[in-house]
Structure 1
């Protein structure tokens, strides 16, 4: 795709384990959407196909980047084009948490998505965010809402529009930097790099380039044994997830391999593209892609599919680790799992 706008246009065009009591009360009479499909017996340990996928909120321009804040027991997620971060809390539903979530002040016409995107929680309980509009990786104190820029450049060049983040147990931060937040994508006059990179910020705060050869790097996640970095590509010509081997320091120690390929699903015009990623405690990968959230074994075998009927940008484990929250186009949804994210 030529730019972020065409990605959204493509997506739009293609476009029972009981719930924990708290989630059930928060959902109230919420509508159930989509479906859960079992593709392999291994999915029996993940979810019951009869479990409802419930809508918790709707009306967003493009919901993204959910993360569970354990200390506060609430979910944060972003509406990237609206430059707003929302909070979902059981019993209270969705409320506005932070505006602007990303770029503060006047938004230049060259910026298409001014808000923050993917988020993760570090060992100190701080929110680490891919701030698309500010074109930086930032850390936010969820209590004071004060933000600190961790990195906004590589070798003197501004990032494009940081998209998603993941954190290694040792504190290393991984992130992707496609041009989706720029109005003209790769042709934007604001673009200072000649590529769309995958990076890491090491424990000393230095920015290291992992890969510069991917057209549209997007979601990132780390395996529970900390030995694999997963990177999703929202690339129509290469709708894949790559797996990079990691060394003990969190650095990439070899060439990536193709972990999953969604060309077949994309050819069927199922809604969405490879996007956000999460990994449960058993090493299963929950990959948003054409059709919904694909649950994959640690070896990449298709186990099941959780669908809402719309493109799902990202997902996150929350509550006791067995609720999977879904940011799906214009809505926030959730489904109860047997498996746990922590």
Structure 2
């Protein structure tokens, strides 16, 4: 029987396995399911899902670097960010990708998690181990901490990040990176938040009521913020309408609910999010990556047979890269994501 795989369970189960990342050899996995005919404009259900590399502890945070034409992605517990480029081997790009030096016993995920590239061309990292949002110069690899505290208290373990208008950044801060989670003695904040870092460096709270905020994304006009909750009691994506100041104008609405596939014990939980230029969401959920219409309707499912933590558009914009448990994969789209 297929069992539901949570992020915590997956990491716990493979923590003791030998770490041997390797290139794939033209392997294809999984498949694509159509729920609605509107899927046909985005992807062909017969398109193969190609495995590019395997052997990672927990692959996450893929981001395409247009200037250079390569993909970066995180192996969070291994504390390494890898680089993939067509025709070359997958190789470490940042080691460590997160917390440097000896890893305290209270830190469970020391590496980089979600990543994006900002308008300045910097790599922006939700650094789980350092418990901060960090900017990295891609040429020199010099790191600058952009956000590490709210009202004097350290963040829990920054998980995912997206660039907003005029230099703003939105990020989530669940306790996944702490060994004991919410009960960790390292936890300083009383909540697991969604935050805004304004262009001038101020930290504002978007929401402090969510148990497990995780993936985060913006609509093409950056007027709606989406937050995925890796919460078995509330497996939803929320939509926040934003005002001119970048803060929510009203309470969020439920954009999509994953209770039904979760009840079927499909692998994974709501996690990473990406939005294409037409406003469709590519959302990790139980079973894989769901393609959701701008209204939140499920159009189809891209599945590898394992939990998919996150995804990213790359190459010419018509490739969707997938970080799925211990593997990196890709699938071709009909319409470009950007």
Give, in whole Å, the separation in 2 of the partners of 1:12 and 1:114: 13
Match of 1:84 among 60, 77, 80: 80
Deviation of the 1:14 alpha carbon: 12
Match of 2:247 among 245, 251, 273: 251
**Structure 1 counterpart of 2:307:** 311
**Structure 1 counterpart of 2:324:** 328
Give, in whole Å, the separation in 1 of the partners of 2:236 and 2:97: 29
**Counterparts of residues 1-342 of structure 1 (less than 5 Å):** 7-10=6-9, 29-342=25-338
- Please say if residues 280 and 339 of structure 1, whose CA atoms lie closer than 8 Å, have aligned partners that are also in contact: no
Deviation of the 1:226 alpha carbon: 1.2
The number of residues matched between the two structures is: 326
Structure 1 portions without partners, runs of 5+ = 1-5, 16-26
Residue 167 of structure 2 aligns to a residue in which SS?
A: coil
**What CA RMSD, in Å, does the superposition of the two structures yield over aligned residues?**
1.7
- Please say if residues 11 and 273 of structure 1, whose CA atoms lie closer than 8 Å, have aligned partners that are also in contact: no
Give, in whole Å, the separation in 2 of the partners of 1:10 and 1:305: 23
**Structure 1 counterpart of 2:19:** none
1:138/1:295 CA distance change after superposition, 3 Å: same
Give, in whole Å, the separation in 2 of the partners of 1:218 and 1:199: 12
1:82/1:14 CA distance change after superposition, 3 Å: closer
- Please say if residues 64 and 312 of structure 2, whose CA atoms lie closer than 8 Å, have aligned partners that are also in contact: yes
**Structure 1 counterpart of 2:18:** none
- Please say if residues 116 and 133 of structure 1, whose CA atoms lie closer than 8 Å, have aligned partners that are also in contact: yes
TM-score by length of 1: 0.93
1:52/1:12 CA distance change after superposition, 3 Å: farther
- Please say if residues 49 and 330 of structure 2, whose CA atoms lie closer than 8 Å, have aligned partners that are also in contact: yes
Deviation of the 1:279 alpha carbon: 0.2
TM-score by length of 2: 0.94
Give, in whole Å, the separation in 1 of the partners of 2:171 and 2:333: 27
- Please say if residues 11 and 58 of structure 2, whose CA atoms lie closer than 8 Å, have aligned partners that are also in contact: no
Give, in whole Å, the separation in 1 of the partners of 2:39 and 2:13: 26
Cα deviation digits, residues 38-68 of structure 1 (max 9, x gap): 1101101110011110000000000000000
Deviation of the 1:252 alpha carbon: 1.6
